[in-house]
Amino acid sequence: MTAYAVTYRRDADDDAWLVEIEGMADVHTFCRTLDEAATNVREAIAVTVDDDPWQLELDEHFDVANVDIDELARLRDQAQERQEIYLAQQ
């Protein structure tokens, strides 16, 4: 299985996550949340390589160099809350 190197980069000016896929310069996406970005990047790759989006292996990287510490803490808290909701549903 091919692993796709994916970089999520926070764009504070647009309040969005920009997503780039290494080796696929024409394939990228952006979203307001990381959950949306992860789904969209899978779908973008799947359409390009004609594969099931949930069978793709992603090597994910996060570039948060331009995120202020308060924003990073807010995003962390949001991720923890979503994980708790997910685990409670299992």
Contacts for 80 with CB less than 8 Å, ≥ 6 apart: none
Q: Is the pLDDT of residue 5 over 90?
A: yes
Contacts for 42 with CB less than 8 Å, ≥ 6 apart: 53, 54, 56, 58
pLDDT of residue 35: 87
How far apart are the C-alpha atoms of 66 and 46, rounded to whole Å? 29
* Per-residue pLDDT reduced to its tens digit, 17-50: 999 999 999 988 889 888 899 899 999 999 999 9
Cβ neighbours, 10 Å, residue 19: 22
